[in-house]
Structure 1
């Protein structure tokens, strides 16, 4: 019995070491590098041409890159992600802040360095979505203050992306790698580091089910389609897919064995998502459209459960607190 317990302990520790390193090298670090690169392309494009027609494609590419790691809310990203993706904006702060900046032509909107001190509601991907897709803002001229503001927000986003990438590569990655070693007060054991990463996977899927889908679904009597994430740019369903893909890819880095239940659950999620007709989720006041979206929500939760069964149970992991909990 002692031999069996020792083998189990050694197995758990070896998996923790492998899982942490693979999560960093195969998912997190390349994810932040990819986002930094996409955000820089957006900023360079905006400097040359600030109009919505020119920026929508690079903005979508930057958002796609963000979904790879956007739900990793630990280390530099625990608070740093908030100004990259300020959503949900439950009180409408983003349009109010953008309107104030434009109407007053505040000087801070012309300086990317100073812009870091502006409310997070006017920064990041969702502020740009308003400027590029919302009729209230998107009609600006190329030589206007609003044009300069778009350039500033884009440059600020690139600065944020670079800071997050460097914060992980030069700092927090080593905190995870050195879990259990003397002097590491963040993770007292390798299993704690692995649990923290595992929590990010499950929390992402919970946030997708409860917020990205739950918020627009509202209730049967009162659906709330305009509460969908990024609905103006018609990427609400795309985000659901991409965040699920990212969670699944992240999960695979934590295990060096096959995950057939997880792979099957992800494939079925995509199958049912294919049946959703409106990528912006604005048709869910129709009962049949609502049902299709509820089925997608069920399959996001099924993916969550498959990962728990195939990774959490074998490794004896229980998810902990995540900064998105309770949103």
Structure 2
């Protein structure tokens, strides 16, 4: 489960960095995602076959991945239907297979598709439709091909809505404490909100993006990796790490050398991994490399807490790594 950080504010100085984090990192990222999702939808409308669409799909994933762990404002609910994962019960696959078997009209209407299970929408749906050998061999003009067009169009609509919603959220964050701002009553609250996203994203990558495919010693679960059919498992971890450190740089009062050094160690661990989809974990050496990456990300969390949170008077409360 995603880390729930209970952060206790010990001091309340005028906190800088929120405006920089929003304007230099989050808003450009949301805009880039909306643009790439629109390109994906237009590409699907032109040629919805799996081989033709895969480059635009991967480009959209690349744009989304740095935003995936930000769950503020419109992203708190919006991210669920853009990238519903982990899907513990396989609801997405069952829904998609059922739609295809029945040639359900809902799969041909982007408006109606917004009411379909979140697990069968967005990137996980496309990961299955474009990457599963039993689903991806469809021909142009088939129901499955038209379903892909619907999923892509629905994703583009969601991306536009997210970009629009973030305009209001950005205003709320950057005017925290101002009269009439009922969402963030002080600059401290806005800082704390973004800082928490950075830390919880790293924790999610270590415990879930890496922990799920690692499974238990002797029993790896490689097909539990995120977007493994698309080879996005490692790139998604890398994007999460870069996003967290990018936010930390904006929030920090000054240089964060320990965090930068820890990031370098993460990069080294990433470079040692041979299979970006984590499907080689039956090999003890491959497993060890993934465990080392997990350890490096946790060391990065510690460095970020020391250099970004602690100087602002923020200390983590419950932490799942403590075993409490």
Q: Distance in 1 between matches of 2:258 and 2:40?
A: 38
Q: Distance in 2 between matches of 1:184 and 1:230?
A: 39
Partner of 2:199: 202
Partner of 2:61: 63
Partner of 2:74: 76
2:159 paired with 1:161: yes
Match of 2:39 among 28, 38, 41: 41
Partner of 2:263: 266
Partner of 1:237: 234
Of 41-50 and 171-180, more deviation after overlay is shown by: 171-180
Partner of 1:126: 124
How many angstroms does 1:221 deviate by?
A: 2.6
Partner of 2:280: 283
Of 112-121 and 45-54, more deviation after overlay is shown by: 112-121
Partner of 2:102: 104
Of 181-190 and 285-294, more deviation after overlay is shown by: 181-190
Tell me the TM-score normalized by structure 2: 0.92
How many angstroms does 1:181 deviate by?
A: 2.2
Partner of 2:246: 249
Q: Distance in 2 between matches of 1:320 and 1:154?
A: 40
Q: Is the 8 A contact 1:262 1:310 kept in 2?
A: yes
Q: Distance in 2 between matches of 1:304 and 1:290?
A: 21
Match of 1:308 among 305, 310, 324: 305
Q: Is the 8 A contact 2:11 2:312 kept in 1?
A: no
Q: Distance in 1 between matches of 2:107 and 2:253?
A: 48
Q: Is the 8 A contact 1:202 1:319 kept in 2?
A: no
Q: Is the 8 A contact 1:283 1:289 kept in 2?
A: yes
Partner of 1:192: 189
How many angstroms does 1:51 deviate by?
A: 0.8
Partner of 1:172: 169
Q: Distance in 2 between matches of 1:320 and 1:33?
A: 34
**Deviations 1:239-293, CA, capped at 9 Å, x for gaps:** 1111111111111111241111111111111111111111111111221111111
**Deviations 1:1-32, CA, capped at 9 Å, x for gaps:** xxxxxxx978x31xx2x311011100111110
Partner of 2:211: 214
Q: Distance in 2 between matches of 1:61 and 1:303?
A: 27
Matches within 5 A, 1:289-304: 289-304=286-301
The SS at the match of 2:71 is: coil
Structure 2 unaligned residues grouped into runs of 5+: 1-9, 319-324
Q: Distance in 1 between matches of 2:260 and 2:54?
A: 32
How many angstroms does 1:186 deviate by?
A: 2.3
Structure 1 unaligned residues grouped into runs of 5+: 1-7, 322-327
Q: Distance in 1 between matches of 2:253 and 2:179?
A: 27
Structure 1 consecutive aligned stretches of length 4 or more whose deviation exceeds 2 Å: 181-186, 318-321
Tell me the TM-score normalized by structure 1: 0.92
| Greater length-normalized contact order (CA 8 Å, ≥ 6 residues apart) | 2
Computed over aligned residues only, the root mean square deviation of the Cα atoms, in angstroms, reads: 1.7
